[in-house]
Amino acid sequence: MDYQTIIAEEKNAVGYLTFNRPKQLNSFNEMMHKEVSSVLKTWAKDSNIRTVVISAEGRGFCAGQDLGDRVVDPHADAPDLGLSIETYYNPLIKLITEMPKPVICAVNGVAAGAGANIALACDIVIAAKSASFIQAFCRLGLVPDSGGTWFLPRLVGRAQAMGLAMLGDKIAAEQAVELGMIWQCVEDDQLKAEAEKMAEHLAKQPTFGLSLIKKAIHAAADNNLDDQLILERDLQRLAGRSSDYKEGVQAFMQKRTPEFKGC
């Protein structure tokens, strides 16, 4: 399918979603929301796609909301910012966090506002050395959205989350790794290759099992230990019935490399 604001490619069981409004630093407008959501929904259901990579064209990753879309006339009534969050950003974050397969984010440049938080919603974030993260919301009198206030304290702890959200400082990729905000930081010219390597590796792993890991770790944020132990029992029960589990055990016994099918 042809898209105007994104590029969607499928290769070796990996779905590559690339934001493609480089002149606007890949900020979101309505069309981009619709295209992104349509692609992610398709891949969520497509068992041939076993890993998703989100990245962007140009020097930036994503500058969040395209403010050109939100004309603020000082004399008009206050806009309803909740509406676009309810309609677009919240469903997008849920699409990423509920995607039953790994979602890698390759952050190639500045990730600001909702753009930063979309990256943080992904399962594994790799950033180029020159990339940066900014919780720019506070500078406009706004609140970090797209899950920012939920992800940040869980990733970096409350003290760092408060500092990041209230000061809105730019955090370099290396510092983001030190803070525990993202998984890895690589040389700029290595980003694409590293993300692809990781994606192709994950796309050969037990996808169903990985989806259960993702589910468990997300649930842990709300569960107490007792509930989480019960959930682990349930998920392990399901995982143990997968054909990948059988294959994994057999391959181990036969001292060969397992061939996982993802189910």
Residue numbers at the binding site for another protein (CB under 8 A): 231, 234-235, 237-238
Strand partners of residue 218 = none
**Closest CB to another protein among residues 204, 218:** 218
CA separation for the pair 123, 97 (Å, rounded): 8
**Closest CB to another protein among residues 69, 234:** 234
Give min distance, CB of 223 to another protein, in A: 12
Give min distance, CB of 229 to another protein, in A: 14
**Closest CB to another protein among residues 157, 240:** 240
What is the token pair recorded at 215? 């589910």
Give min distance, CB of 160 to another protein, in A: 30
**Closest CB to another protein among residues 75, 233:** 233
Give min distance, CB of 41 to another protein, in A: 16
CA separation for the pair 163, 149 (Å, rounded): 12
**Closest CB to another protein among residues 75, 237:** 237
Residue type, 58: G
CA separation for the pair 91, 33 (Å, rounded): 10
What is the token pair recorded at 163? 């500092």
**Closest CB to another protein among residues 79, 240:** 240
**Closest CB to another protein among residues 37, 223:** 223
Give min distance, CB of 212 to another protein, in A: 9
Give min distance, CB of 234 to another protein, in A: 5
Residue type, 137: F
Give min distance, CB of 241 to another protein, in A: 9
